[in-house]
Amino acid sequence: MAVVQRLYRVADHVFGLSLPAEWEAALSNYAPFLIEEGDPLFRVEILEDDYTPPANLEHVYTDRSDEDMPRIELYHEGPDWLFGVSKWRDTPICCYIAASADFSRATLHILPDCNDVRFAIDNAAMLLYAFATSGLQTLEMHASVTVRDGYAQLFLGHSGTGKSTHSRLWQEAYPDAWLLNDDNPVLRVLPDGEVRVYGSPWSGKTPCYKNQSAPVRGIVKLSQAPHNEIRLLRLPEAYAYMLASSSGLKIVPEMMDCLYETIAKTIQLVPVYGLECLPNTDAARLCHDTLTK
């Protein structure tokens, strides 16, 4: 089976994938980020094999999310890491990610009965990207991002809160507004103090894979309500919502120290609001007018 080596740049961070050539066609979401050369932060070798984890692994924890979300089993393999990922919370593991202690190298073992190669590759790449960039003033966010007038707005909230809906309402209210990413944008605090958000190859259920970026004008935590009301959040509130919306391995103190620092810098540089809202264009206009006043 022919193998291809590919490099991608996301938010100016480079990573590499080594995979069977026949699978590359399934990864059209990565095409806008493809580059010819660069120095990767991490590399992933992707295999389809009947991998069996060692019997003496140390189980660290199980990340069980909503029923319609993946389950992740985390193990220590000596100083290294092993992640088992299932597509849904209560389904069998479909792939394993064996990663070095510093997350610079990994092997993705896709099990023969896995029926979604792209799911396995996306989850491996997202996990490793979040971990490998955590010390670089970078946050992999769970958010929807809309851009207008050259500035980006990040909408945060639990799954089902209405992040995608609110982005769509912005586009209905303002035809020149456009969607940068609908699930997993990357936020960076740059050396000059600018907070910038970037598109990524990962955008949830919405196919939006733009290799573009914009400075962040504001961050908005959404919650459903029978009214439209917005307020500036106090720093502790903003910090808590940002932490809940960013990806990181929270059992690694050094990694979390870096995430804490990046979040603290972000909320000092960019206002964070709480928006209680209905799913209507009035909510989008209220949000827009507050962020742009």
pLDDT tens for each residue of 183-238: 999 999 999 999 999 999 999 889 999 999 999 999 999 999 999 999 999 999 99
Is residue 93 located within the same domain as residue 153? no
* CATH code for the domain of 203: 3.90.228.20
Is residue 145 located within the same domain as residue 286? yes
Among 132, 159, 190, give the residue marking a domain's end.
Answer: 132
| 155: Cβ contacts below 8 Å, ≥ 6 apart | 143, 144, 145, 146, 163, 166, 167, 220, 222
Is residue 148 located within the same domain as residue 279? yes
Is residue 252 located within the same domain as residue 159? yes
Is residue 152 located within the same domain as residue 232? yes
Average pLDDT value for residue range 112-127: 94
Q: What's the domain range around 30? A: 3-132
pLDDT in the model for residue 70: 85
The model's pTM: 0.95
Is residue 96 located within the same domain as residue 190? no
Is residue 268 located within the same domain as residue 176? yes
Number of domains making up the chain: 2
Among 132, 159, 177, give the residue marking a domain's end.
Answer: 132
Among 97, 132, 167, give the residue marking a domain's end.
Answer: 132
Is residue 119 located within the same domain as residue 218? no
State the burial class of residue 62 (Cβ atoms within 10 Å of its Cβ: 0-12, 13-18, 19+).
exposed
| pLDDT tens digit sequence for 45-104 | 999 999 999 888 888 888 766 666 788 999 998 889 999 999 888 889 999 999 999 999
pLDDT in the model for residue 56: 84
pLDDT in the model for residue 61: 85
Tokens 């590759």 -> residue: 121
CB contact at 8 A, 69 and 90: no
